[in-house]
Structure 1
Amino acid sequence: MRIYSTKWWEKVIVSINDGILVIDEFEKVLFINPEYSRITGVGKEIIGKLLSGFRPGAQLPETLKDGKTRVGIYREINGCAYVVDMAPIEDNGKIIGAVSVCKGINEVKALSNELNKKVKQVIELQEKITKLSSVKYSFEQIITQSSEMLDNKHIAKKIASSNLPVLLIGESGTGKELFSQSIHDASDRRDHPFIAVNCATIPDTLIESELFGYVEGAFTSAKKGGKVGLFEMANNGTLFLDEIGDLSYNVQANLLRVLQEGTIRRIGDTKEVKVDVRIIAATHQDLNQMAQKYKFRQDLYYRLNVAHITIPPLRNRKEDIPLLVKRFLPTNYQLHNDVLQFLQSYNWPGNIRELKNMLSYAACLADDGVIELEHLPEVMRNQIVDDSIQTDGTLRSVVESAEARYINQMLKRYEKNIEGRRLAASNLGISLASLYNKIRKYKLE
């Protein structure tokens, strides 16, 4: 073991950025470093002299006598203001001296300002997390008399108290986030954050930094101080990944690692951060089929698909429409019988979200509080016209008319491109070529 000389330790103290003054057991000054002189204006002439004689009012001799540590003592001498910490020096239980460590008041103020800035950032982050993490829905808000939906509620309530990942399958507007928030609200994590992110709305180049965060300097546009990711923000709570089928293969791999290891690594960092986050994922896509076509990681699919809930579209649970109308319709408004009858026959491509928005729109137009057919949005009024088209009454004509209307409704749900047509064909249960033939046959373009 190497023995270091006194000179070596003096060089160490000289290198320290705080002012250092040391006295012996007789109050004689043994040593000061250059930083002490810079802060206090006192030079080496003090060395070898009694501190109390050279610096009237000095408190370090008191520390020598009572052995007590003193912290944050304000001193001002000859126009020099600084803050001092003092401590006794002991050897085998005997006080053999004392040391004073000081900082200039400007440096203290700078540190205080920096601390206040960091505290403000922490408060802002906490407020942001609170705002993001608040849930509006619970199982009481899931209004239904559909047997399938009642079964879904029962299953969701059962799994809420566990930490199992949940996969919600359903079309847009069916209430996937309603279920996710309700599961979180009924879980032991209810007092911790609920963070929701729509994977389809964030570009591939940004989604990784949003989920996992990054350190300062990780890339060109990285913020000073780095950024906390959504996984860290959701720690001890729930992270809702909506439209998870839109995640790139690379991000899927990182997500799988988090689920397996329970740790995340910020972009540009080398250390792992432990997180305890429950994942609830949602999609309108068939992840199993995507996994078979290597468009979604099969191992991630199996990891997510532990608790599986399929939420039916509104057209398959029309018995819920009167209940939902009662819930969403503004007070003092009512529906004309013709409107309610039409709502029961409409296909609802936008599901519950479309119903809610339609009622809000129609209520704005209904001056007397009664919503009639003329108050419905144009796309729905056009449907009324389509449904009124007469046929010649033969079985074939009735079937073809119904087929044309249904295909037309399905086409309206998707974009007018090859991918949209492929999705429509898949939901219709026919090939893409058959769909194009029927579009030409019924002149649906």
Structure 2
Amino acid sequence: MKNTFQEHIEVDCSSKKFNWWHAVINSINDGILVIDKKGIVRFINPEYTKITGVKSDIIGKPLIEYRPGAQLTNTLKDQQCRVGVYRKEKNREYMVDMAPIIIEGKLAGAVSVCKSLNEVDKLSKELRRQTEKLKNLENRMDSIYEAKYTFEQIIGGDGGLRHVVHIAEKVAESQFPILVTGESGTGKELFSQAIHNKSERKHGPFIPVNCAAIPSSLLESELFGYGDGAFTNAKKGGKAGLFEIADNGTIFLDEIGDMSYDLQAKLLRVLQEKKIRRVGEATERAVDVRIIAATHRNLKQLVNKKQFREDLFYRLNVIQLEIPPLRKRREDIRELVYSFIKYSTTNTSYKIDEYTLGFLQSYHWPGNVRELKNVIDYATCMAEDTDIVFRHLPEFMIKNEKNFSDIVSKTEKSSRTLQEAIQDKECAFIQEILRKYPNNIEGKKKAAEVLDISLATLYNKMKKYHIHF
């Protein structure tokens, strides 16, 4: 038999445990009512009274007598849970969840948990608000991975760029990797986006990655992702890489010539096997991604210097698009200028005088189309009204005016227009260069190289100025 001291200790422990659980239930913001297996109410918390109006004098009484419409007794009979039961008593509306209480496999009673409809309405509104935020975030993420440009937006005449556009449009429908080369600022990403939008992958993501802007130590995990615990401070559960995000779409690897030699080997495997392996994981994941790579560097020279893998070069160089620099397609400058004016200001009445246009067409443009856009943006800011004139150009350009002003001063002494004078000067210069080389295709190629224009542009200008060699 237990002695009196032992019984006192057990009663004391039981009392403390009861008080603890009683305090916990009273702290809950949901209303709670408990009945035993005979349907007698054994407990309600203050929140239940607040929601339903039922007071604690119900304790010890049969629930069905006190509340004839109560459904909790049905839970005793069928031992089934009930969720989201709507109840209305007088002017009080609330939702009830019900469940049987099972102890050691036997029915011991049932519990009713209720929440005021006002609270439910608040939660519903908050859920709708959070859902809307999530939707907006998803839309923003989609816009980040969306290609904006199409071939229709690429400005270029028959002097070389139109030929590149024609090739790009044809190869866009294939699944081959593409290597886009050209100087910085010529529009390599614009071409890549246009190719994506022309392809059957246009509804998939377009993921641009600047390989030169991301440290080599981070680029691998950015491209291929990482597994759980792959390194210190790694995100729990791991992280998907950009190749996984680009699945069924296109990944644009800009400045691929700056990618580390070791990482090039992993990229080669993606091209060969169509699979990636996250950093820190052993398993591979299949991806369906088209790769468009771009560089302003000479990859063939890098291959010879053992700075770029030869096997990767030939894998990427299935189709090569070379974007000509702006100085080799000066005939496009006028149209480009008016296009940039249109998009750099909401005022469509801006005009630029012929003198300034002539200067822009004579400038060598080391920064290519990107530099031209920056100059026009600057000029529209500096213009006092809607007329853009020479003094509105950046200071560094104004300092380079001397050679151009000499041509203009000669023009002013005659009745010819500025444009005519420029064209005459250009025609004479082309003829001077052509005389230095044989009158055959090789000679024309040499002349085009000296003139720093494409062979197609040279032929167009010869046709324009009626030059016969």
TM-score range, shorter chain: 0.5 to 0.7
- Which residue does 2:206 correspond to in 1? 194
Q: Select the residue among 219, 222, 226 that pairs with 2:231.
A: 219
- Which residue does 2:143 correspond to in 1? 131
**8 Å contact 2:75–2:99 — kept in the other structure?**
no
Structure 1, unpaired ranges of 5+: 1-50, 64-68, 75-80, 86-104, 106-115, 391-401, 403-427, 429-445
For residues 217 and 340 of structure 2, the distance between their equivalents in structure 1, rounded to whole angstroms, comes to 39
Q: Select the residue among 372, 376, 384 that pairs with 1:367.
A: 384
**8 Å contact 2:81–2:98 — kept in the other structure?**
no
Q: Which amino acid aligns with 1:180?
A: S
- Trace 1:350-429 onto structure 2 (pairs within 5 A): 350-385=367-402
Q: Once the 2 structures are TM-superposed, how far is the Cα of residue 226 of structure 1 from its aligned partner?
A: 2.1
Q: Which amino acid aligns with 1:132?
A: I
Q: Compute the RMSD of aligned alpha carbons.
A: 4.0
For residues 195 and 233 of structure 2, the distance between their equivalents in structure 1, rounded to whole angstroms, comes to 37
Q: Once the 2 structures are TM-superposed, how far is the Cα of residue 120 of structure 1 from its aligned partner?
A: 10
SS in 2 for 1:285: coil
- Which residue does 1:302 correspond to in 2? 314
- Which residue does 2:189 correspond to in 1? 177
SS in 2 for 1:300: helix
Q: Select the residue among 343, 353, 358 that pairs with 2:360.
A: 343
**8 Å contact 2:39–2:73 — kept in the other structure?**
no
**8 Å contact 1:240–1:280 — kept in the other structure?**
yes
For residues 207 and 309 of structure 2, the distance between their equivalents in structure 1, rounded to whole angstroms, comes to 23
Q: Which amino acid aligns with 2:233?
A: S
Q: Once the 2 structures are TM-superposed, how far is the Cα of residue 204 of structure 1 from its aligned partner?
A: 0.9
For residues 286 and 404 of structure 2, the distance between their equivalents in structure 1, rounded to whole angstroms, comes to 58
Check 1:250–1:119 CA distance in 2 against 1; reply closer, same or farther (3 A cut). Answer: farther
Check 1:169–1:271 CA distance in 2 against 1; reply closer, same or farther (3 A cut). Answer: same
Deviations 1:30-63 (A, max 9, x none): xxxxxxxxxxxxxxxxxxxxx9889995769869
For residues 221 and 231 of structure 2, the distance between their equivalents in structure 1, rounded to whole angstroms, comes to 10
For residues 57 and 185 of structure 1, the distance between their equivalents in structure 2, rounded to whole angstroms, comes to 64
Q: Which amino acid aligns with 2:390?
A: L
**8 Å contact 1:52–1:61 — kept in the other structure?**
no
For residues 204 and 119 of structure 1, the distance between their equivalents in structure 2, rounded to whole angstroms, comes to 38
Q: Once the 2 structures are TM-superposed, how far is the Cα of residue 368 of structure 1 from its aligned partner?
A: 2.8
Check 1:53–1:196 CA distance in 2 against 1; reply closer, same or farther (3 A cut). Answer: same
SS in 2 for 1:216: coil
SS in 2 for 1:220: coil
Q: Once the 2 structures are TM-superposed, how far is the Cα of residue 313 of structure 1 from its aligned partner?
A: 0.1
For residues 120 and 214 of structure 1, the distance between their equivalents in structure 2, rounded to whole angstroms, comes to 30
- Trace 1:325-344 onto structure 2 (pairs within 5 A): 325-330=337-342, 331-344=348-361
**8 Å contact 2:228–2:235 — kept in the other structure?**
yes
- Which residue does 1:270 correspond to in 2? 282
Q: Select the residue among 260, 278, 283 that pairs with 1:248.
A: 260
For residues 83 and 270 of structure 1, the distance between their equivalents in structure 2, rounded to whole angstroms, comes to 47
Q: Please state if 1:168 is matched with 2:185.
A: no
Q: Once the 2 structures are TM-superposed, how far is the Cα of residue 271 of structure 1 from its aligned partner?
A: 1.5
**8 Å contact 2:226–2:239 — kept in the other structure?**
yes
For residues 351 and 136 of structure 2, the distance between their equivalents in structure 1, rounded to whole angstroms, comes to 44
Check 1:328–1:120 CA distance in 2 against 1; reply closer, same or farther (3 A cut). Answer: closer
Q: Once the 2 structures are TM-superposed, how far is the Cα of residue 285 of structure 1 from its aligned partner?
A: 0.6
For residues 221 and 136 of structure 2, the distance between their equivalents in structure 1, rounded to whole angstroms, comes to 20
- Which residue does 2:456 correspond to in 1? none
Check 1:121–1:277 CA distance in 2 against 1; reply closer, same or farther (3 A cut). Answer: farther
**8 Å contact 1:348–1:355 — kept in the other structure?**
yes
Check 1:292–1:168 CA distance in 2 against 1; reply closer, same or farther (3 A cut). Answer: same
- Which residue does 1:232 correspond to in 2? 244
Q: Once the 2 structures are TM-superposed, how far is the Cα of residue 172 of structure 1 from its aligned partner?
A: 1.0
What is the identity percentage for the equivalent residue pairs of Structure 1 and Structure 2?
Answer: 51
Q: Which has the larger radius of gyration?
A: 2
For residues 393 and 376 of structure 2, the distance between their equivalents in structure 1, rounded to whole angstroms, comes to 8
For residues 222 and 333 of structure 1, the distance between their equivalents in structure 2, rounded to whole angstroms, comes to 53
Deviations 1:327-375 (A, max 9, x none): 1124211222211111111000111111111111111111132222211
Q: Please state if 1:157 is matched with 2:174.
A: no
For residues 82 and 391 of structure 2, the distance between their equivalents in structure 1, rounded to whole angstroms, comes to 78
For residues 153 and 84 of structure 1, the distance between their equivalents in structure 2, rounded to whole angstroms, comes to 69
Deviations 1:110-143 (A, max 9, x none): xxxxxx9x99998688445402211210010011
- Which residue does 1:315 correspond to in 2? 327
Check 1:124–1:213 CA distance in 2 against 1; reply closer, same or farther (3 A cut). Answer: farther
Check 1:295–1:387 CA distance in 2 against 1; reply closer, same or farther (3 A cut). Answer: farther
Q: Once the 2 structures are TM-superposed, how far is the Cα of residue 146 of structure 1 from its aligned partner?
A: 3.2
Q: Once the 2 structures are TM-superposed, how far is the Cα of residue 153 of structure 1 from its aligned partner?
A: 0.9
SS in 2 for 1:241: strand
For residues 266 and 137 of structure 2, the distance between their equivalents in structure 1, rounded to whole angstroms, comes to 25
For residues 270 and 294 of structure 1, the distance between their equivalents in structure 2, rounded to whole angstroms, comes to 29
- Which residue does 1:414 correspond to in 2? none
Deviations 1:187-224 (A, max 9, x none): 11111101111111111111111111112311113123
Question: Which stretch of structure 1 is more off in the superposition, 121-130 or 365-374?
Answer: 121-130
For residues 357 and 288 of structure 2, the distance between their equivalents in structure 1, rounded to whole angstroms, comes to 47
Check 1:340–1:349 CA distance in 2 against 1; reply closer, same or farther (3 A cut). Answer: same
**8 Å contact 1:361–1:377 — kept in the other structure?**
yes
For residues 406 and 159 of structure 2, the distance between their equivalents in structure 1, rounded to whole angstroms, comes to 34
